[in-house]
A and B are shown apart, each in its own frame.
Chain A
Amino acid sequence: MQNLPAILLESSPVSLNPVTSTDLLAILPVLILLGTGAVVLVMDLFQSVPAGEGETRKPVLHFLSILGAVIAGAQICGALAAPDTGATSFFRDALRIDKFSLAMSLLIVLGAAFSLLGAADTLRRRGLEHGEFHALILFSAASMILFTQSASLIMAFLSLETLSMSVYVLTAYTREEKRSNEGALKYFILGSLSTGFLLLGLVFIYGATRSTNLVEIEAALRGGGANLDSPLLLCGLALTLIGLSFKIGAFPFHSWLPDAYEGALSIVTGFMAVTVKVASFAVLLRLALLFGSTPSAGTIGAELHASLTAALSTLAVLTMVFGNVVALVQRSLKRMLAYSAIAHTGYLLVGVITAMEAKRSGLAAGTGAGQAVLFYLFPYALMTLGAFTCMSYLGRGTEDCESLESYRGLGRQQPVLALGILLLMISFAGIPPTAGFWGKLLIFRQAIDTGHWGLALTGIVTSVVSVYYYLSVVVNMYMQPGGENEPLSTEPRTCGKLAILLTVGAVAIVGLLPDTFFRLSMAYSLR
């Protein structure tokens, strides 16, 4: 009976604990997002659509959903600002909320809010203004938050599946477009396959440790190998890692990513690239630190550490090289950024490895681990959202501005916007003094500090390669002849403009005040 997971115990009347108001209060942001999603979905039924016109006008839809996201974000901010009381468990240890998961949740809500803001114009322009879109974004954001906060393997699996379902559908949202359907189908099929591996991995872990609860698993690890089945645990962890690698798009589990990213609406691509990655990295980091850095009585701890380091390092190197090298030969900005998203996964994996190393060697004793990952993700999220919003903003009719050629002459036509894109690109490339530079600096610095010279070197060399393709956008904007494109249509683009302005401005601020954000990431690091 003791060996059964907590959730199975629920059937027993003896230990039935009712859900308390504290539990509900703790997941208030999730509830707000879910509630807003439901309201928006229902409300859309009552919105009249003018017949015969391609355009729709549903400002309330956008406003309400963005408002919901903003309120949820404010709620999380409030929780973040409160004094740190360590990790607290809710729902009988199904969720554990600490500063780290709150910070990650904030990034997710941020991604959702900016995606909703940026989508408003595009959806209207393309006649796709349906409540499902907003609801799906909000629902997936809610499940992502639960994913980052989950403290049990089952909770993690359930929330991961919920968020995946929402994202599959979002990818296929422009259902009349062939490549959208194709991308979504590939994503779904391969995703199902990887989910299978993930589930198998979780089962193995449960089998080895006799618990689905992360706290109990940690205790079991600390206790040593007597009752631990080491090969089973190793296999389980490897399969779990594969499942997560699929979600973050690490080579060779990335194959769905370019097609899905290309098929989806630019805004949706931005949303996926940011939120799915943030949520998955939050869980990956937590699991890596749990399994890879917990001091154990027997040899199991060292074995796990060695295996995780080797596997993650291999993934990181392959991902950095593959993402950057293949991005180089792309002709479409959207596909290029898809591969660049893979490349950034590689850099973040380096961050995970160094966090693991730092925690194990006691470097992170007072400060917590993973601040480099956290610091990196914030500007990365902003840059990605900004770039994909630009693509959507510059779109004409039912097309987003995707090919590199279509950016020719933008420097003359729209100097301010071009300047913003320039900032985003040099920040992606990591040229000082931009936000992207500080993020990379932090990760590579930690890699060197923890002795991972090879990883740091690979990261730096591939970053240099990346400068080429990021700057090719700039070259097209400023140094290529052309730009005979007709000016943008007169449809209102205020929301897109606002989203770009906010993201680019935030990227600039992080670049100029890295210290503030570094201190924040220290405060919210994983302890």
Chain B
Amino acid sequence: MESALILIPILPFLGFLINGLLGHKMPRRAVSFFACAGPAAAAILSLLAFQQVAGGEGKAIVQSLGDWIRAGSLHVPFGLKVDHLSGVMLLVITGVGTLIHVYSLGYMRDDPGYPRFFAYLNLFMAAMLVLVLANNIVLLFLGWEGVGLCSYLLIGFWYKDLSNARAGMKAFVVNRVGDFGFVLGVFLIFVTFGTFEFDALNAGAAAKVTVSDSSTLWWIGILLFVGATGKSAQIPLYVWLPDAMAGPTPVSALIHAATMVTSGIYLLARLSGLFVASGVLPIVATIGALTALLGALIALTQTDIKKVLAYSTVSQLGYMFLGAGVGAFGVAVFHLVTHAFFKALLFLAAGAVIHSLHHEQDMRKMGGLLRKLPITATVFLVGALALSGFPLTAGFFSKDEILHETLHGGHALLYAVGFVTAILTAFYTFRQFCMVFLGEYRGSAHEGHGHHDTRGALVHHADSSEIRESPWVMLGPLVILGLLSLGGGFLDVPGFLLGAAHETQAAGVGTEAHGPDTGKLTGWILGGSAAIVGILAAFTAFQWSPGLVTRLQGTTPGKIFARLSYNKFYVDEAYDLLLVRPFSAVSLILFYLIDRALIDCVLVGGTGFFVRLTGSALRRIQTGRIPTYTVLLVAGVVGLLTIFLWAAG
């Protein structure tokens, strides 16, 4: 297995090469085969690697592929490593990834960019796998940037629509801000530690903290965390993720819910020793809790089926950061895993709805789809229950453990925020369920008024009689994810991860026995009731007494809140006003004043003009007449003799 680790990212990469270079010449069937073969094979290899690692505590497989960069004291090995943490990540990425690839075969069936889509998706898999397999932070950064690139490419997949291209650009630019911090952090790591390897860093940080370098460590921690907030859509850099929903829905499921956006959590868990030593964890926890609350508040009033899920993702990622911030890295990764299951499920189910309704995403034009799409509705319900944290579903266990650890760590305020967010989560999730699947179908009212969908094609709203279940190639993955969302909570991910030796340094969490103690039982009851309260409230408001919401929005605070939430608290507008516009203005000024006027006109143009002028003047020496030449020569002789004798003194 040691020598086969590199195959895990290579296989999807081969799929990328084949579909990217030859895809447009091959039949669809072949494209489909190569698209899914790479991820599936990687999944099998990952399973084998995982089995080998899972055997004992702290066991790891390492493949060293020599040096990547060697320049002076800078030494970056090309090393891959599978331990418990990256093993879990591998399974999630390849497992969920393969399911989403299969689903996409159906979802993207009629798209003209079919091979291109799968090429990007395979490239994403390869980059994501490099990210988790890397044994040093520079190689991780290669994957980190690779997934960012693929995210950009896939958000703007339907690039002919300007707003999609803009969304891709926004994601890319916002991520650059985070990456800037990340890269600075890496530089600082090199200056401080002289190595990039995770194990050495975790150990080195623990040793350093006792010495004197605590402020350097703090800066490393905060810079890397800035990188993580960019990639994992936390305050203040979360704004790109909702816009990223412009991409095809499988992309939203894979990249913007299950895998890429969680790489910030992975980074924190990977460098848990360093983060604990750096002392930035309280900031991480606060940011996480606030993001969780903010995402949930915005999700309450969104009407786009994918936007609700996007803000929900932001919110759930906030939970994970909260978990990591209180030192419970294993629990954070646990929530990452269960979230990957149920959020991928929700997105894919939403995709199935969108697919059935011919690319309609507005929930106000849905409703009553339970009867039309019973399987989709069922799996969506499962996902919604898991997201709400309904007892015994996957989300229930992982979220409650985060809340439990928060309280256990003495962060009562953060716990309260998390608890309120849990109620809100259940509420907006079932608001969505009610709007989409219950009640009456509201789409046919607009029938005949064709509009342009995200791909720029004219679509007609589906007549209620035309709505059909998606094909089984799409429903199959949904069912599997549904089962995982139901049963995923019984996986003992934190316990498994805490088995790894270096994880135990994480704030003494490892000393605690894993299992329902009295504190945990209380937590379960509280968490379960929060979910149930939220669900019941949603049913009350949107199913049993529909007038309630209208009446609430009639009151002044209700109206204000609804507007704030619907408009995402005007954060995008504020960023635009405070950052984007001044920046553009400065850029424009610099462009016209410095670049156009000074550099182009005065320096470049002026130099050229001056040199040409001199040239034209000097060429007059070249008269072509021998007397002139002779005079010049003799003058030169006199001049040189003078210089010679003068210089000799």
CB-CB under 8 A from A303, the residues of chain B are: 648-649
Tell me the B581-619 residues at the A interface (CB within 8 Å).
608, 611-612, 614-616, 618-619
Chain A residues, Cβ within 8 Å of B618: 322, 325-326
CA distance A36 to B197 in the complex (A): 69
Instruction: Choose among B633, B643, B646 the residue with the greatest number of A CB atoms under 10 Å from its CB.
Output: B633
- CB neighbours (8 Å) of A322 from chain B are 618
Contact partner, B647, options A189, A190, A307, Cβ 8 Å: A307
B641 at the interface (CB under 8 A from A): yes
Contact assessment for A326 and B622 in the assembled complex, using a CB-CB cutoff below 8 Å:
yes
Contact flags (1/0) for B614-647 with A, using CB distance below 8 Å? Answer: 1110110110101011101101110111011111
Q: Give the docked Cα–Cα distance between A314 and B646 (Å).
A: 13
State A74–B48 Cα separation when bound (angstroms). 64
Bound together, the chains give a CA A256 to CA B628 distance in angstroms of: 11
CB distance from A360 to the nearest CB of B (A): 15
Minimal Cβ-Cβ distance residue in A for B610: A325
Least Cβ–Cβ distance between A494 and chain B, in angstroms: 37
Q: Which A residues lie within 8 Å of B635 (CB)?
A: 252
* CB contact under 8 A between A465 and B611, given known A235-B641, A307-B648, A329-B619: yes
Please pick, from A241, A326, A328, the residue contacting B640 in the complex, using a CB distance under 8 A: A241
Query: CA separation between A242 and B636, bound complex, in Å?
Result: 8
B624, B630, B637, B643: the one contacting A310 at CB < 8 Å is: B643
Against B, the Cβ 8 Å flags (1 = close, 0 = not) of A234-273 are 1101110110011000011101101100000000000000
* Nearest CB of B to A243, in Å: 10
The residue from A193, A253, A259 contacting B624, defined by CB atoms under 8 A apart: A259
Point out the residues of chain B lying under 8 angstroms from A193, CB to CB: 630, 633
Residues of B within 8 A of A304 (CB): 648
Give CA–CA (A235, B648) in the complex, Å: 11
CB <8 Å contact, B644 and A311: yes
- One of B612, B637, B645 near A329 (C-beta < 8 A): B612
List the A side residues contacting B619 at CB < 8 Å: 326, 329
Q: Is A58 in contact with chain B by the CB < 8 A criterion?
A: no
Q: Which of A186, A234, A252 contacts B636 (CB 8 A)?
A: A252
- Whether A311 pairs with B643 at a CB distance below 8 angstroms is yes
Query: Is A194 in the interface zone, CB < 8 Å from B?
Result: yes
Closest B residue by C-beta to A185: B626
- Cross-chain contact of A255 among B608, B615, B621 (Cβ < 8 A): B621
Q: Return the chain A residue nearest B621 by Cβ.
A: A255
Residues of B contacting A255 in the complex (Cβ-Cβ under 8 angstroms): 621-622, 628-629, 632-633
Is B608 a contact partner of A194 (Cβ separation < 8 A)?
no
Instruction: Report if A435 contacts B (CB, 8 A).
Output: no
Interface contact A194-B648, CB-CB below 8 Å: no
Distance from A314 Cβ to chain B, minimum over Cβ atoms (Å) = 6
Q: For A190, give its contact among B622, B626, B645 (CB under 8 Å).
A: B626
Task: Give Cα A290–Cα B622 distance, bound, in whole angstroms.
Answer: 34
Closest to A304 in B: B648
B612 touches A328 (CB 8 A): yes
Give chain A's interface secondary structure class. helix
Task: Please encode chain B, from 65 to 105, with 1 for each CB lying within 8 Å of some chain A CB and 0 for all others.
Answer: 00000000000000000000000000000000000000000
Q: How far is the CB of A15 from chain B (nearest CB, A)?
A: 36
Q: How large is the interface on A (under 10, 10 to 19, 20 to 34, 35 or more residues)?
A: 35 or more
The distance from the CB of A204 to the nearest CB of chain B, in whole angstroms, is: 11
A234 to B643, CA, bound (A): 11
Given contacts A325-B618, A329-B616, contact A306 B648 (CB under 8 A): yes
A194, B615: Cβ atoms closer than 8 Å: no
Say yes or no: A238 contacts B644, CB within 8 Å: yes
Q: A328-B612, A329-B612 are in contact. Are A237 and B626 (CB under 8 A)?
A: no
- Asked whether A186 lies within 8 Å of B626 as measured between CB atoms, the reply is yes
In the complex the two chains form, is B640's CB within 8 Å of A231's CB?
no
Given the known A-B contacts A259-B624, A311-B643, A328-B615, are A306 and B649 also in contact in the complex, defined by CB atoms under 8 Å? yes
- Distance from A242 Cβ to chain B, minimum over Cβ atoms (Å): 5
Residues of A within 8 A of B645 (CB): 231, 234-235, 238, 307
Are A186 and B647 neighbours in the complex by a CB distance under 8 Å? no
Task: Name B644's contact: one of A182, A310, A465 (CB within 8 Å).
Answer: A310
Measured in the bound complex, the distance between the Cα atoms of B619 and A245 in whole Å is 20
Evaluate contact between B637 and A234: CB separation under 8 angstroms.
no
Contacts of B626 in A (CB 8 A): 186, 189-190
B residues near A186, Cβ cutoff 8 Å = 626, 629
A476 beta carbon closer than 8 Å to chain B = no
Q: Which residues of A contact B648 (CB under 8 A)?
A: 230, 234, 303-304, 306-307
Given contacts A307-B644, A307-B645, contact A325 B615 (CB under 8 A): yes
Q: Which residue of B lies closest to A329 (CB)?
A: B615
Contacts of A256 in B (CB 8 A): 629
Q: Is A315 located at the chain interface by the 8 A CB criterion?
A: yes
**Within the assembled complex, what's the spacing in Å between the Cα atoms of A475 and B619?**
23
* B636 adjacent to A253 (CB under 8 Å): yes
Residues in A whose Cβ lies below 8 Å from that of B643? 307, 310-311, 314
Residue contact B640 to A234, C-beta cutoff 8 Å: no
| Contact between chains at A310 and B622 (CB < 8 Å) | no
- Is A309's CB within 8 Å of the partner chain B? yes
B637 touches A242 (CB 8 A): yes
Shortest Cβ distance from B616 into chain A, in angstroms? 5
Q: Are A325 and B611 in contact (CB under 8 A)?
A: yes
- Cβ-based interface call for A197 (8 A): yes
* B644 close to A234 (CB less than 8 A): yes
Query: What are the residues of chain A within 8 A of B629 when measuring CB–CB?
Result: 186, 190, 255-256
Kindly report which residue of chain A lies nearest to residue B608, judged by CB atoms: A468
Complex alpha-carbon distance, A295 and B308, angstroms: 87
Whether A310 lies near B641 (C-beta < 8 A) is no
Closest to B616 in A: A329
A306 touching B647, Cβ below 8 Å: yes
Q: How far is the CA of A21 from the CA of B629 in the complex (A)?
A: 47
A25 smallest CB distance to B (angstroms): 41
A231 CA / B644 CA spacing, docked (Å): 10
Cβ-defined contact, A190 with B630, below 8 A: yes
CB B637 to nearest CB in A, in angstroms, measures 5
Q: With the chains together, A259 CA to B641 CA distance in Å? A: 26
* Residue among A237, A255, A259 having the largest count of chain B Cβ atoms under 10 Å: A255
Q: How far apart sit A329 and B616, CA to CA, in the bound complex (Å)?
A: 7
B428 to chain A, nearest CB (A): 59
Complex interface: chain A residues within 8 A of B640 (CB): 238, 241-242, 245, 311, 314-315
CB distance from A209 to the nearest CB of B (A): 16
Please, how many angstroms separate the alpha-carbon atoms of A258 and B624 in the complex? Answer: 9
Complex: chain B residue closest to A251, CB-CB: B636
Q: Across the interface, which residues of B come within 8 angstroms of A246, CB to CB?
A: 633
- In the complex, how many angstroms separate the beta carbon of B630 from the nearest chain A beta carbon? 7
Interface set, chain B 33-91, CB cutoff 8 A to A: none
The complex places the Cα of A182 from the Cα of B649 at a distance, in Å, of 42
Given A311-B643, A328-B612, A329-B612, A258 contacting B633 (CB threshold 8 A): no
Provide the residues of chain A in CB contact with B612, threshold 8 Å: 328-329
Bound complex: CA A245 to CA B639 (Å): 13
B469 to chain A, nearest CB (A): 57
Q: Across the interface, do B649 and A258 meet the contact criterion of CB distance under 8 Å?
A: no
The reply to whether A258 and B622 contact each other, CB–CB distance below 8 Å, is yes
Question: B611 contacts A311, CB within 8 Å?
Answer: no
Closest to B629 in A: A255
Minimum CB–CB distance from B374 to chain A (whole Å) comes to 64
On chain B, the residues within 8 Å of A326 by CB distance are 615, 618-619, 622
Chain B residues with CB under 8 Å of A194's CB are 633
Top-10 shortest CB links A-B: A310-B647, A252-B636, A255-B629, A329-B615, A238-B644, A303-B648, A307-B648, A307-B644, A307-B647, A325-B615
A-B contact pairs, 21 of them (CB 8 A): A189-B626, A190-B629, A194-B633, A230-B648, A234-B645, A235-B644, A239-B637, A242-B637, A242-B640, A245-B636, A251-B636, A252-B635, A253-B636, A255-B621, A255-B633, A304-B648, A307-B643, A314-B643, A325-B618, A328-B611, A329-B616
Q: A242-B636, A252-B639, A326-B619 are in contact. List 19 more A-B contacts (CB 8 A).
A: A186-B626, A189-B626, A193-B633, A238-B644, A241-B644, A246-B633, A251-B636, A255-B621, A255-B632, A303-B648, A307-B645, A310-B644, A311-B643, A311-B647, A322-B618, A328-B612, A328-B615, A329-B615, A329-B619
